[in-house]
Amino acid sequence: MTTASPSTTGPAALAGPAAAGEATPTGRGGSAGRRRRVREAVTAYAFTAPAVLLFAAFGLYSLGYGLALSGATWNGFSPHWTWVGLDNYLDLLYRDPVYAPIVRSAAWHTLAVMIAVPLLVVAISFPLAVLLNSARRLRTLMRTVYFLPFVTSGIAVYLAWQYVLQPNGAVNALLRACGLGTLAQPQGFLGNPDTALPTVIVVMVWTAVPVGTLLYLTGLQSLDPCMLEAAALDGAGWWRTNRSVVWPLLRPITAATVLLNLREALQGFQTFLVMTGGEGAPGGHTDVLGLASYRLAFLEQLQPTLGLASALGWLLFAVAVLLALLNLRALRSTA
């Protein structure tokens, strides 16, 4: 199988060598050649134009609008914005005695999610992928079963989790039936301030493990079997082979899995919105930055807080870019 080099992709390549300024094979050149080059270039740009237009309409415009909004106060309805410069950022970070404590609390919760979710996803996905890869029987069935949480993810699943985690829900009933009543939560797993956030983290991990496992499986199947055979010939057992050969070779996949889950942990809020409500019940103990941003935009009873929501979004964006850069650096050093 051949692989395309970067130079064989992109508009210039689509337009062919003529568009890249090379002499035509026929060597005719002249006005006919120029017309053909122009036609082909126009065709190439015509095909890329829709994507560019869509990005301009929904990407650049939204980015610019959001950036401008982060420097204003507005409730989404009044005809005029009130410009406040960087006040929204400063209010969120430390200055406003109403919003800054909420953002601080949400930031700690978000940090906990950002640490726990990627770590747990990797800790579960990698061994699961190794086991699934080595399964001889019912391999397809097992892969399907482990991938189900991803296929069925969505609002309905989060609602279902909410019901089974209630005080009289299935999880408590199961624990009591198994003689583990001391682990049951009388207030429900989402009602106890000490268990609410860990419980949502578990649900997020449950949702993310299938993709992590799939990525690791792909990596495992692309490994050169010679390396594994060499390790076996050198006397490495199953544990040593996976720890010292497979795990280091799959480090780029680990980095990608961690980055994907960091992004979701940083910006995602839908799990929290559905399972614990817009205020991060109980009593704000599951409030995270993504949820706070959504709440400032849509749940502040028409107060002019859309600018605060946008500013918080940009702060999250800055953190996401920082994490991406760190991840890129880590990948380069690994390479």
Partner 1 sequence: MRLDFGRRRLLAAAAITALAAPLAACGSGSGDGSGGGSADAITMWTFKAAHVKPLEEAAARFKAQSGVTVKVQAITPDDAYTAKLQSAAKTKGLPDVLEVHTLGEDLTYGGAGMLSDLTGKVDASWSGQYVQNVRTAGTVTPELETASKQPGSAYPGIKAGARYSVPFTIGAFGVVYANKTMLADAGVKDTPKTWEDLIAALKATTAKSKDAGGITVGLAAPSTGLNWMLHQLSYGTLGKDGYHGLFAKGAHGWNSADGKRVLSLYDQLTPYWTPGSQSLKIDDADRAFAQKRAAFDIGGTFTLAGLEQFGMKADDVAAFAVPAPKDGKAAGTGLAPFSLTSLSVTTQSKNPDAALKWLRFLSQKDTAAAFAKAATDIPAADLGADASAAGTAIGALSKTLSTGADAYDSSDHSFMPAQYTSNIDKLGALLTNMSPLKQASVDQTAKRFDELVTEYWNAEK
Cα 291 to Cα 309: distance, rounded to the nearest angstrom: 10
Instruction: Give residue 10's region: left, alpha or beta (phi > 0; psi -120 to 50).
Output: left
Q: How far is the CB of 329 from partner 1 (least distance, A)?
A: 38
Q: How far is the CB of 307 from partner 1 (least distance, A)?
A: 11
- The residue (of 121 and 297) whose beta carbon lies closer to partner 1 is 297
The one-letter amino acid code at 184 reads A
Cα 154 to Cα 167: distance, rounded to the nearest angstrom: 23
Long-range own/partner contacts, residues 8-13 (CB < 8 A, 24 or more apart) = 11/44, 11/45, 11/48, 12/44
Query: Binding of partner 1 at residue 261 (CB under 8 A)?
Result: no
Query: Binding of partner 1 at residue 303 (CB under 8 A)?
Result: yes
Residues 25-64 within binding reach of partner 1 (CB under 8 A): 39, 42-43, 46-47, 49-50, 53-54, 57
Cα 288 to Cα 306: distance, rounded to the nearest angstrom: 17
Q: How far is the CB of 57 from partner 1 (least distance, A)?
A: 7
DSSP assignments along 230-263, one per residue: HHHHTT--HHHHIIIIIHHHTHHHHHHHHHHHHH
Residues 69-88 within binding reach of partner 1 (CB under 8 A): 73, 75-79
Query: Binding of partner 1 at residue 335 (CB under 8 A)?
Result: no
- The residue (of 128 and 190) whose beta carbon lies closer to partner 1 is 190
Token digits for 73?
């106060």
- The residue (of 50 and 179) whose beta carbon lies closer to partner 1 is 50
Q: Which residues bind partner 1 (CB under 8 A)?
A: 39, 42-43, 46-47, 49-50, 53-54, 57, 73, 75-79, 97-98, 102, 166-168, 186-188, 190-191, 193, 196, 276-279, 281-284, 298-304
